[in-house]
Structure 1
């Protein structure tokens, strides 16, 4: 459950966020990744190195206001920071020893969704169904060369 729960949290996050209409969805996610950059400040596991990381994440979040790619990159940077804190033994939640590892499992799920453009459920369905084609590739005569 320690490994599966964070993945479920990532999927639930993406599912709920996909219901928010654009451009608010991208803007809100840029703010979220910016906030994630400051998550370790109170623990200070890496001393002054926490500050340049916050600055980097603030820049990435700012660029994320106009780019899903930057938001995805931000979540991947946060994943690396989670792993570093987990290895050092300085968890994101001081009362939960494996919380940084859980965060490191959750964040790439969110990053992948962001790198795909933060699609809504209807956009995902539209991508799967292309006009004039069936969803069954065996019986899809449109894809068979003439």
Structure 2
């Protein structure tokens, strides 16, 4: 269980950390492109026939809207999560030689989606805003 859960969680966190180093609006634009690519990941053999094209079109729409909205990027990642679960149960894995790869992707994607629903903040800005005033107020008291 740990081997199945921990690596995808770490990958999701690493994705957020690396992406948060990119300045806005480029960070949102790149994430829209990334979710569009994820939406097409199963096209070459996902095993769900024509539904693969329907899904890709839906995520492409989210990605296009995501160029201007973090919410749509997050929705795209959640759609991909559901698609990963479906592939884990009924279709082919996202990585053909790794049986549980779709399950891993389904664990990783919601981490990215949650970050997107928060507006894809820079983690350094988030840390400064959370603990910066605390540090300043302690310094003022000295």
* Same topology, TM > 0.5: yes
Name the TM-score, length of structure 2 as normaliser.
0.89
TM-score by length of structure 1 reads 0.87
Task: List alignment gaps of at least 5 residues for structure 1.
Answer: 140-146
2:69 alignment partner in structure 1: 67
**Higher RCO (CA 8 Å, separation ≥ 6 residues):** 2
What is the Cα deviation at residue 89 of structure 1? Answer: 4.5
Is 1:105 equivalent to 2:107 in the alignment? yes
More helix by share: 2
Structure (1 or 2) with the larger CA radius of gyration: 1
Cα gap change, 1:62 to 1:89, in 2 (>3 Å): closer
Please list every run of at least 4 consecutive aligned residues from structure 1 whose deviation after the TM superposition is greater than 3 angstroms: none
Aligned partners of 2:63 and 2:72 also within 8 Å: yes
Residue in structure 2 matching 1:40, options 39, 42, 45: 42
Task: Give the conservation status (yes or no) of the 8 Å contact 2:46–2:93.
Answer: no
Counterpart of 2:129 in structure 1 is 127
**1:12 aligns to what?**
14
Q: How many residues align?
A: 134
Deviation at 1:43, TM superposition (A): 1.1
